[in-house]
Structure 1
Amino acid sequence: MIDRVITSGTFSLDGGTWEVDNNVWLVGNHREVVVIDAAHDAEAIAARVGGREVRAIVCTHAHNDHINAVRELAERTGAPIRLHPADQVLWEQEYGDKLGYEPLADGERVEVGGCALEILHTPGHSPGAVCVHGPELGVVFSGDTLFKGGPGATGRSYSSFETIIDSIRKRLLTLPPETVVHTGHGDSTSIGAEAPHLEEWIARGH
């Protein structure tokens, strides 16, 4: 079972602040879930979780709009916070040394509701960006690495266009074309819908 909560708030980096809507994804069954990206509104996320156990709060990356509700949600649920340690510098911008997490590793499998979610390290949007692949579910949760229409933004600190293109080419476009891509913002898409446009993105330096 896959569920989405859309939350609203702000994203701040490099001295700027922008209003954003975020997709928070819940994956699991009637007993337990994994929350992907605790953004903005812990109360709304906890309400959607209901009485289920939260096995983990997985952060696709540590930009503040994807982690700014993680402390409250972890306190409410007792769930471990999971993040790739390459995003430590961004994590500290939000939480300093006041909040810890359990490191995520490329290739790790997170079990929930009878299925396994595989962690794919996909740097570029940020150094520790990951995507969460559910092969049995036919989905990948792409965070801000891949959207409907192209790669995530790389114009700010700690990001790289060349790196995100490399990640998308090697880690995402190799997935089955029917794989549904559930993104960190906006509408979902599929690997098959995005793959033909890779060279266009490179040409325009999107």
Structure 2
Amino acid sequence: MKTENTVWHPQLVTKPDRAKLKKQRPCLLWYTGLSGSGKSTVANAVDDLLFARHCHTYLLDGDNVRHGLNGDLGFSDEDRIENIRRISQVAKLFVDSGLIVSTAFISPFQSDRDMARNLLERGEFIEVFIDTPIDVCEQRDPKGLYKKARAGEIKDFTGIDSDYDVPSAPEIHVKTAEQDILACATQIVNYLYDNGYIGQE
């Protein structure tokens, strides 16, 4: 139920102030892809490279968030939508703090990713499509989830019995089956540098 008697309280310290202090342009790297595609692995590698460059970052991982903030949600379409709605709002606050934020979620529905994009200012949302064929994801199957989904032990599993909307125009298109993790991470960091989100090392 939406509250009616709340008013947004302005803050003296602004997002540009925080960005200037951190010497970076805040943004949200939104990693999307199938389970096992490499989202969390690539996002962690990018975070590590940015940390080495003295950038101010934070990584919101799908599994980790479901241990706390979204621990009450399942994997039905409705719960997936609410999962993304909550994390989008949290990520928006982190971007407002001046950080370069990464979110690693399957986020299978284009409408949800568009909703997250529309919460932010132009240029702050960077969709990173971790494009890995499902057969490669199944071969990796790091958590044994595909095996369980094929056996009918897990319902509403993306790519098996739940749809995944392939991004139509992601800002960054990464193919983990064709290059190693460091190369994937470097591709993303280079995008941030080339587009003025970060400076030289």
Q: Flag whether TM exceeds 0.5 (same fold).
A: no
Structure with greater strand percent: 1
| Larger relative contact order (Cα-Cα within 8 Å, sequence gap ≥ 6) | 2
So what's the TM-score if we normalise by structure 2? 0.33
So what's the TM-score if we normalise by structure 1? 0.32
- Rg larger for: 2
Structure with greater helix percent: 2
